[in-house]
Structure 1
Amino acid sequence: MLSPLFELFSKQHNWQDRYRQLIALSKQLPAFPDDQKTEANQIDGCENRVWLTVKKQPDDSFIFQGDSEGRIVKGLLAVLITIANNKNAEQIKALDFHAILNQLKIIDELSQSRQQGLDKIIERIKLLTNDVKKGE
């Protein structure tokens, strides 16, 4: 499932191209319901407000849905969701999000505050899958 991401970003030769790609990905995220933009779904510690929800599928995989007020943050969220979607809790726990983001050449150009926000989103993804796993 990651190969389309790698293909997409390998065609981008500089940060401006990758930046534009993140914005394009942000526009491809499914609409996030306004009634899900709650404090419980909001991720603290991000530059822009970010919301994330998860649904466990019958095959024990997870589907994430999210939104952000910022285009770049929303694009980063789209990348993280693409990485995590359709995986089970063990697969998500084993994911090295930073290594993948490094391979995509995304993380190096981000400001320190955006990197911290990215870490908060990754933490929430892992926490949500753990909580759902425990709450079965």
Structure 2
Amino acid sequence: MKFIKSGQAPRDPATGDLYVMGDIGAALLAGAPDTGQLDIYMVDFAAGARNRVHIHKNDQVLIGASGRGIVADATGEHVMEPGDVAVIPAGHPHWHGATADSAFSHIAISTPGDEITIVDGDDRGAWGALPEGSDT
């Protein structure tokens, strides 16, 4: 058994094309080599920070941990607060991040080897468009 106290897992800046608009960091809470069946991250978004519209090869579960966030898809923006759960099926386009006026943290649960594909700029509509002036 492995036990991790809150705040003990090292937080690394989230980098790459998936992340836009502000400071985003992630701490691996559980994954290889301790478990080969789950990857569990605590993801922290500064106010207004978010990721791009993307899909996962496998299902993803997000659990609100602190602050106020948004999980968005073609049906709209859904506000998340601590304790709220979003179950995102494989292949479902979505984005998530913090509201403009609050930092937000969520626990992200997925499976090892999950592949993420960015789908910004396709015909899914303005809900997934990058903000004006963004060159990312």
Q: Same fold (TM over 0.5)?
A: no
Structure with the higher fraction of residues in strand conformation? 2
Q: Indicate the TM-score class for this superposition, using the shorter chain for normalisation.
A: 0.3 to 0.5
* Higher helix proportion (structure 1 or 2): 1
